[in-house]
Structure 1
């Protein structure tokens, strides 16, 4: 009897485990992409405010981003997930007029705020410019189509319709290995675009048909024709906490010299009643590093409740943060960072950094 009961218990446990596995919804893909120059609406909002997204100054300095952050912060954190599946090339049928910037209210409406008309921050460009599309998962492209809104269309006052667009450039089937730039955290296609006689506000609309499946990406980039130079091709700055591409690393001129392989600095970027947001910046020494570990030692229990761009282990008053796959490699003298949300009043920990070179 004991043996039979044991067998039944094992079977029940296996069945429960199987059910749990089956019912767990699949997580997001490791990485997707976006137009990083001229920055799309949600990527631009993340690039400008991702480390300071609760700053009330955004409401007056960047009101369209402010309304987007208030509507759904995940539209910015997941800046590389603005896509639809199963469109089968029928873009104008599947995506209704007025919803082009949200990919037809994709992802249960996460990106709806991208459709809101208003004075979005616009990139100044000339009549010859470059569209830079970042692909963090190296999907490649069946095709990429770049449109520019027609003369007379004003994105500040009018929601975008298909009839407002003019196709100006198409990139044919291009495997990821043939994209313009091969990066450590993905690939980037820099697409030259030329129009004539344009001035004033417009939208650049990009459709990226990824090659790995029927997955279509849609990006609205606000521009102002009349700039003297084109924006230089860009690469992503920081990823969302739950998705992919790598933070850019740039040489630091204000941080003191590093004693050892790396150094870490702690900064409070915003504060509110009952909590605050912080950033830890990692600076590589005179030798490039392959991975890093930052230890934060607090005077009391760790206040950290959420972290992005790092993996966290907490043990009492000590927190150990290690790089994730896309931001471990840092050039000599360059920086990367991770952010966090914490409870209570700001507390400054002791920060130590160790790295492999």
Structure 2
């Protein structure tokens, strides 16, 4: 028979074990506390976290910040773990290990967690002058064997083109610098402020930063979209700006692609039309408009049938299943209910040359 002393001991042990388990869960539920990122001009995933981390399920992001929206839909952990975009064991062979087109995801590192960072489109761009400062945050005080800051060459357009190593030119290199010597010593880490200058630049470009941490063979890679002079795109939100900032300029449609198919009459419960909003070598961005018929609908399903295999890679404002040449999109929780004659849209990224699918629309009333 258990004595009262033994019972109290067992209860204490169970409580201690539960407390330890809850502590582990609490630690694992938030973003990682180590490593770092380029906080200004903000990298793609840090910028998405900064603007939308407190409101990441808000559907307004799909229209105001569509590239961040596709990233949150693809893998929210890419933003929650904004400080973990690194590879180990590269041994300085960056161009060998990371293929062209995958520079922003560090070659699909971390089992593909950051793949959406490679998506081509109109990412929010920070407006900067020809002289600016790159802010690199190091939360774990790793220090650096070196830091390299590159900029894309004149004529490169990140809205329409995947980033390749040959697109980059080196701006500056920070040599070996222990964490104790970084520019700013903060309570939660250190920050390196790197002054950089270019000459005669204007318009859209991308900064690419490689941080070779000192504690291990651990290399960090960051893509920051910028706009020299602020002439062609709205700037990225500052940390104090609310997530409802103005959207960036929509990408222009290539003259070789018809922007939309003809709009069919809504003879049934709903109708759908397809358009191409931008395209580039190897891919394009498309949009489907769903319009309710003469009666209100509670939900909708659009079937897209292609001549060959469905090219759709990522989708937002809808859920998608694919089977060969057919892709089936169903409404999200927030855009299924439409009044009679009302419309909504969903967007997607496709691979290859843009092809107009055959569309059918069905709805529940």
* Fold similarity call, TM over 0.5: yes
Secondary structure of 2:72's match?
Answer: helix
Structure 2 CA distance for aligned equivalents of residues 118 and 66 of structure 1: 12
Partner residue of 1:346? none
1:71 aligns to 2:70 (yes or no): no
Partner residue of 2:262? none
1:135 aligns to 2:168 (yes or no): no
Structure 1 CA distance for aligned equivalents of residues 90 and 190 of structure 2: 24
Deviations along 1:269-288, whole A, 9 cap, x unmatched? xxxxxxxxxxxxxxxxxxxx
Secondary structure of 2:63's match?
Answer: helix
1:221 aligns to 2:221 (yes or no): no
Structure 2 CA distance for aligned equivalents of residues 104 and 63 of structure 1: 23
8 Å contact 1:142–1:172 — kept in the other structure?
yes
Structure 2 CA distance for aligned equivalents of residues 58 and 222 of structure 1: 18
Which ranges of 4 or more aligned residues in structure 1 deviate by more than 4 Å?
A: 27-30
1:182 aligned to which of 178, 182, 185: 185
TM-score, normalised with respect to structure 2: 0.55
Larger radius of gyration: 2
How far off is 1:29 after superposition?
Answer: 6.8
How far off is 1:30 after superposition?
Answer: 4.2
2:59 aligned to which of 56, 61, 69: 56
8 Å contact 1:132–1:234 — kept in the other structure?
no
8 Å contact 2:51–2:239 — kept in the other structure?
no
Write out aligned runs for 1:102-113 (5 A).
102-113=105-116
Secondary structure of 1:209's match?
Answer: strand
Partner residue of 2:166? 163
Matched pairs, number:
210
Write out aligned runs for 1:4-43 (5 A).
30-43=33-46
8 Å contact 2:46–2:82 — kept in the other structure?
yes
Over aligned residues, Cα RMSD in angstroms? Answer: 2.5
Structure 1 CA distance for aligned equivalents of residues 182 and 207 of structure 2: 20
Unpaired segments ≥5 residues, structure 2: 1-27, 241-365
Structure 1 CA distance for aligned equivalents of residues 59 and 90 of structure 2: 39
1:150 aligns to 2:131 (yes or no): no
Structure 2 CA distance for aligned equivalents of residues 234 and 110 of structure 1: 24
Secondary structure of 2:69's match?
Answer: helix
Structure 2 CA distance for aligned equivalents of residues 157 and 31 of structure 1: 34
How far off is 1:227 after superposition?
Answer: 4.2
Secondary structure of 2:104's match?
Answer: helix
1:86 aligns to 2:86 (yes or no): no
How far off is 1:214 after superposition?
Answer: 0.2
Partner residue of 2:126? 123
Structure 2 CA distance for aligned equivalents of residues 125 and 102 of structure 1: 24
Deviations along 1:85-133, whole A, 9 cap, x unmatched? 0000000000000000000000000000000000000000000000000
Structure 2 CA distance for aligned equivalents of residues 35 and 234 of structure 1: 13
Structure 1 CA distance for aligned equivalents of residues 92 and 133 of structure 2: 24
8 Å contact 1:101–1:114 — kept in the other structure?
yes
Structure 2 CA distance for aligned equivalents of residues 30 and 79 of structure 1: 10
Unpaired segments ≥5 residues, structure 1: 1-26, 236-357
Write out aligned runs for 1:192-207 (5 A).
192-207=195-210
1:47 aligned to which of 33, 38, 50: 50
- Alignment CA distance shift 1:103-1:212 (3 Å): same
Structure 1 CA distance for aligned equivalents of residues 114 and 121 of structure 2: 16
Structure 1 CA distance for aligned equivalents of residues 64 and 57 of structure 2: 13
8 Å contact 2:41–2:225 — kept in the other structure?
yes
Structure 2 CA distance for aligned equivalents of residues 154 and 227 of structure 1: 15
